[in-house]
Amino acid sequence: MPDDIGRRRRVLVLLICCTSLLLVSLDGSAVNIALPALSTELHASMAGLQWIVDSYLLVLASLLMLAGSTADRIGRRRTFTAGLVVFTAGSLLCGFAPGLGWLVVFRVVQAVGGSMLNPVAMAIITNTFTDRAERARAIGVWGGVLGISMALGPVAGGALVDSVGWRAIFWINVPIGITAVVLCRRFVPESKASRVRRFDPVGQVLVVVLLASLVYAVITGREHGWASAPIVALFALAAVALVALVGYERRHAEPLIEPRYFRSVPFSGASVIGFCGVGALGGFLFVEPLYLQGVRGLSAVDAGLYTLPLAAMMLVAGPVSGRLVAARGPRLPLVVAGTAITLAALGLTRVGSDTPTAWLLVDHALFGLGFGLMNPPITTTAVTGMPAERAGMAAGMMSTARQVGQASGVAVIGTVVSAHLDGPARTHFAAASHGGWWIVTACGVVVAVLGAVTTGPRARRTAAAAAAALAGEPAPERAGAGPAARTDGGEAAGTDGGLSGSRGPAQAPEGGPAQGQGRLMNSAISPADSVPE
């Protein structure tokens, strides 16, 4: 009976954490479906629409690492609850925005709250589900919830836009947010890192400068001229900020972004995969509603219905991918995910104003399959095998890579499409979008290739060394030296559904000293195990 009670409590915590994902994803998908209405009512250009989306994404990406380390320091439940309150308040304000500029400002408020939600929720899940297989299934459910939100967001958002107006897509967040706050305060246990990390203000400022200058230059470059002094200066500022950030963080005792994580090839690969994969999704969700409503003349709710195959496949593929990761490791779902994204994007490079509906629906389903399969393995790779006190940082770094990717996808793909608009949107938008779809195709190829090459035995050895260094342990023996090692891209004994090798000599048996000291998030995870929104 106690085990059943404990399991029910863990499931309830998972559902509460998934509410934050549902809240943020509903908002994002509804905003995208409302872009044509926002363009008309607020007289927003393509750049203005990009800022409605990217103002949120940029602030979110800039603050995710701070939110993760803050949660580790002052408590994850406390930070998570604060994020829900701020996000809900920002949503309410967005619904009352009198113009484009105010809407962008209130989206920033939303983002401040949103930065404290998903990465912190993932850290809560990681600390709640300590069994490796159970955690992999929980992360699969997390990915499935993304599919649910993808299904509800465009349809519900479209219905609200057509019936009430675009402001209602923000107001709908308010009751959900209030409910989540009440449940979180009552049922989610508090947890924090065993060792408090100091705030890194210099690193935080450099991250903000880097992201803001780079994305601003990309979005406004065509308007001002790519060779103009302001745009060149912005790109130069971004380059200087990047160099300064890398140099400073390498020397800082407690950096905002831990450079040692990137010694792990699987972690680095997962970061790039997340950047490219979610960047492709960001471009897709930005361009496709404009095409469906502007070129094909669909209503907002009908455009939302066109996205249902994408959402349905994400809903199915997320849990399936979680089980595949738990059973065989991340390579298979990542390769299939990249292939599906590539094929879907290739199909859209030929889209026109009279493309058959069946063609579009199949493409959307392929996108959903790819993104649904991609999320669990990269999430698992980011947090598995890391020391417990670094759970928030690892989840935050992976979420940052995703959000930066999505902001970059909207900025780059939106700018490419805008650059090819040489006539009325209704007649030229479809052809103009082809350049953007070729970029998405390239992102799919990157996902497939890196999914294959960053999950092999050599890559797993770098993960073992990085995890050992972070845990303050001696470097483990070479993966493959012990009888438990595998070289087929699958998992060795003692893995946590991630990228793994054999148990090294530093590994303590379950219930042994490593578990008692709380040095690793799960005593069944050795330094040779893998390092995963």
How does pLDDT run across 279-293, given as a tens digit for each residue? 998 899 889 988 998
Q: Look at the alpha carbons of 419, 423, 424, 430 in this order and tell me if their dihedral is positive or negative.
A: negative
More confident residue, 341 or 246: 341
pLDDT at position 236 is 95
CA distances from 439 to 46, 212, 281 (A): 18, 22, 11
d(CA 23, CA 277): 21
Q: What is the three-class DSSP state of 387?
A: strand
pLDDT at 313 over 60: yes
Q: Quickly state the pLDDT bin for 527 (edges 50, 70, 90).
A: very low
Q: Quickly state the pLDDT bin for 513 (edges 50, 70, 90).
A: very low
Q: Which range, of 161-165, 229-233, 427-431, averages the lowest pLDDT? A: 427-431
The conformational region for residue 503 under phi > 0 = left, psi -120 to 50 = alpha, else beta, is beta
446-491 pLDDT tens trace: 999 998 888 777 877 777 777 677 666 555 554 343 333 333 333 3
Q: Quickly state the pLDDT bin for 130 (edges 50, 70, 90).
A: confident
Assess contact for 149 and 307: CB atoms under 8 A. no
Closest by Cα among 161, 346, 380, 349 to 270: 380
Provide, rounded to the nearest whole percent, the portion of the chain with pLDDT above 70.
80
pLDDT at 360 over 50: yes
pLDDT at position 487 is 33
Q: What average pLDDT does the segment 219-238 reach?
A: 87
More confident residue, 67 or 339: 339
pLDDT at position 524 is 27
Q: Quickly state the pLDDT bin for 495 (edges 50, 70, 90).
A: very low
Q: Quickly state the pLDDT bin for 404 (edges 50, 70, 90).
A: confident
| Contacts (Cβ under 8 Å, ≥6 apart) of 517 | none
Q: Look at the alpha carbons of 279, 281, 284, 286 in this order and tell me if their dihedral is positive or negative.
A: negative
pLDDT at 151 over 80: no
More confident residue, 389 or 111: 111
Q: Quickly state the pLDDT bin for 385 (edges 50, 70, 90).
A: low
pLDDT at 518 over 60: no
Q: What average pLDDT does the segment 360-369 reach?
A: 92
Q: Quickly state the pLDDT bin for 219 (edges 50, 70, 90).
A: confident
pLDDT at 509 over 60: no
CA dihedral defined by 70, 72, 74, 80, rounded to 10 degrees? 70
d(CA 499, CA 267): 9
Token look-up 């479809």 returns: 430
Q: Is 329 exposed, middle or buried (0-12, 13-18, 19+ CB in 10 A)?
A: buried
Q: Quickly state the pLDDT bin for 73 (edges 50, 70, 90).
A: confident
Q: What's the pTM value of the predicted model, to 2 decimals?
A: 0.75
Q: Quickly state the pLDDT bin for 356 (edges 50, 70, 90).
A: very high
CB count within 10 Å of CB 358 equals 8
pLDDT at 445 over 90: yes
CA distances from 25 to 150, 468, 520 (A): 7, 35, 31
Mean pLDDT, the chain, whole residue set: 78
